[in-house]
């Protein structure tokens, strides 16, 4: 059981913090709620008190507060400070070190990990001042559960609504479980599909949900690595604390991946990158009488490019891993892909079955390296991610990345 201070600040979604408190409690954590004065105008402290069975801290210098549960005492006993909902105001105060109430003082006084779930009007979230505060806090190691898109209480639609309570509770769980075995390692992960535009309104895509790559990124983050996630368009939330780079096409993904590879210890290409892209028409294609014939050009194979860069000496310390989505001859094809692309590990997936792989919750795989092939039986994508990272860890502790030559073998 961990002790969590749940900070609640004054926004219209503050009532959702009740669900967060309940979720944390259900997960077995001991929760102490700290409300700002504004938060008490949106939701009553009594509700939190009934759920957490602790007195709710609402005033900084409440009589008695300093005797047992003052900010210094709480700061040193908690395992996590979670602020949900966090307003633009509290982000600004945290970023600039203002300590004018219990929550802001607690933030400065604690050495526990800090997780923040912001919610505000979409223009406020996009404002330069808020962006800068988020960056400052991120650079200090504060993790975020990004706000979602949707209908906002102010009548606007856009990014700014508080993430779902379940997602916030899950992010808190990941931070609490975090180990440090990958601390100091830089991990670059690609995930999701790519969308290749046909014209300004149409595109060619694929059914990748991004979940496998996101699970790899979350697991690397949980192990203490610093993670960059280059993601094609997906409908899922990024793991809290990863550096997210959103891209759309194979070409954009390549531009995001190649320059970041040399500084990475590990690159995992889990994205379903399009192998072909149409030549984009400048104007919307209008229908004619007959069929439409699309001409598609080959895209660059990013993983093969990374293999070739390494063979040329440009990535001396980077371990390279990719996936192979196959519908037949799964392992022999994965072996051949690994050799041809000059990479250390291929995670071979059978995507012909509905219960695993593409767009499914579970996955099974064979981890193909130069030395051996290991089966990972059907399990959740988070557990498959664990198995992949365990294997990568072994490869990194062993002989290091194999100096394979792209297309030429090296096994
Ligand atoms: N990949 C890539 N760039 C591409 C296509 C694929 O980096 N343009 C990467 C994927 O991220 C994956 C691996 O290559 O890690 C294998 O992708 P897959 O589609 O299974 O195989 P391909 O090599 O594209 O071969 P094919 O589609 O012909 O089976």
How many Å apart are CA 374 and CA 387, to the nearest integer?
10
Residue from 188, 305, 325 whose mutation best tests the ligand 1 pocket (most atoms within 8 A of CB): 325
Atom of ligand 1 nearest to the CA of 271: 11
Sign of the four-CA dihedral 85, 87, 93, 95: positive
26-73 tens-digit pLDDT: 999 999 999 999 999 999 999 999 999 999 998 766 655 444 556 678
Cβ(261)–Cβ(343) below 8 Å: no
Ligand 1 pocket, Cβ-based, cut-off 6 angstroms: 250, 269, 271, 273, 275, 299, 301-303, 322-325, 337
Instruction: Compute, in angstroms, the gap from residue 284 CA to the centroid of ligand 1.
Output: 29
Q: Which residue, by CA, sits nearest to atom 12 of ligand 1?
A: 323
Burial class (CB in 10 A: 0-12, 13-18, 19+), 313: exposed
Atom of ligand 1 nearest to the CA of 321: 15
Q: Which residue, by CA, sits nearest to atom 4 of ligand 1?
A: 301
Atom of ligand 1 nearest to the CA of 324: 20
| Strand 362-368 with 345-350, pairing | antiparallel
Question: In three state form, how does the secondary structure of 286-300 look?
Answer: CCCCCCCCCCEEECC
Residue 154: active-site member = yes
User: What pLDDT does 402 receive?
Assistant: 46
User: What pLDDT does 60 receive?
Assistant: 66
How many Å apart are CA 207 and CA 33, to the nearest integer?
42
Instruction: Compute, in angstroms, the gap from residue 387 CA to the centroid of ligand 1.
Output: 21
Cβ(94)–Cβ(87) below 8 Å: no
Write out the H or E segment, with its range, that includes residue 257.
helix 250-261
- Averaged confidence pLDDT in the chain: 89
Q: Which residue, by CA, sits nearest to atom 8 of ligand 1?
A: 301
Instruction: Compute, in angstroms, the gap from residue 206 CA to the centroid of ligand 1.
Output: 13
Instruction: Compute, in angstroms, the gap from residue 317 CA to the centroid of ligand 1.
Output: 22
Positions in the chain short of pLDDT 50: 65-67, 400-411
Choice among 126, 129, 154, 279 that is catalytic: 154
Q: What are the structural domains, with CATH classification, of the chain?
A: 3-178 (3.40.50.1950), 186-398 (3.40.50.10300)
pTM over 0.95: no
Q: Give the DSSP letter string of 343-395.
A: -SEEEEEETTSTTSSTT-SEEEEEEE-SS-EEEEEEEEHHHHHHHHHHHHHHH
157-208 tens-digit pLDDT: 778 899 999 999 999 998 887 678 999 999 999 999 999 999 999 999 999 9
């Amino acid at each position: 059981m961990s002790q969590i201070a749940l900070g609640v600040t004054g926004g219209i979604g503050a009532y959702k913090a009740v669900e967060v408190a309940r979720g944390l409690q259900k997960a077995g954590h001991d929760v102490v709620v700290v409300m700002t004065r504004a938060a008490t105008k949106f939701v009553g402290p009594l509700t939190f008190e009934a759920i957490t069975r602790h007195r709710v801290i609402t005033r900084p210098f409440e009589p008695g507060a300093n005797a047992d549960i003052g900010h210094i005492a709480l700061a040193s006993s908690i395992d996590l400070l979670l602020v949900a909902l966090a307003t633009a105001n509290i982000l600004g105060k945290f970023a600039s070190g203002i300590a004018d109430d219990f929550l802001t003082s607690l933030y400065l006084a604690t050495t526990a990990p800090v997780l923040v779930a912001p919610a505000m009007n979409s223009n406020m979230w996009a404002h330069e001042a808020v962006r800068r505060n988020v960056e400052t806090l991120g650079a200090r190691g504060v993790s975020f559960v990004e706000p979602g898109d949707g209908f906002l209480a102010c009548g606007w639609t856009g990014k700014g609504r508080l993430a779902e309570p379940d997602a916030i509770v899950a992010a808190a769980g990941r931070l609490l479980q975090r180990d440090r075995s990958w601390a100091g390692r830089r991990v670059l992960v690609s995930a999701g599909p790519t969308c290749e535009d046909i014209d300004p309104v149409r595109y060619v895509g694929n059914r990748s949900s991004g979940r496998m790559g996101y699970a790899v990124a979350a697991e690397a983050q949980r192990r203490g690595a610093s993670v960059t996630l280059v993601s094609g368009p997906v409908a899922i939330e990024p793991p809290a604390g990863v550096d997210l780079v959103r891209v759309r096409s194979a070409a954009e993904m390549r531009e995001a991946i190649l320059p970041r590879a040399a500084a990475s210890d590990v690159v995992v290409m889990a994205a379903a990158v399009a192998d072909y892209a149409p030549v984009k028409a400048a104007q919307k294609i209008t229908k004619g009488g007959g069929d439409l014939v699309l001409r598609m050009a080959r895209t660059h194979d990013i993983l093969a490019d990374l293999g070739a860069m390494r063979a040329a000496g440009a990535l001396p310390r980077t371990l390279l891993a990719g996936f192979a989505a196959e519908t037949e001859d799964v392992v022999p094809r994965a072996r051949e892909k690994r050799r041809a692309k000059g990479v250390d590990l291929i995670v071979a997936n059978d995507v012909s079955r509905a219960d695993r792989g593409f767009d499914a919750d579970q996955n099974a795989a064979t981890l193909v390296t130069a030395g051996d092939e290991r089966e990972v039986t059907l399990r959740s994508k988070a557990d498959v991610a664990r198995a992949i990272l365990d294997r990568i860890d072994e490869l990194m502790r062993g002989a290091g990345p194999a100096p394979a030559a792209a297309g030429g073998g090296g096994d």
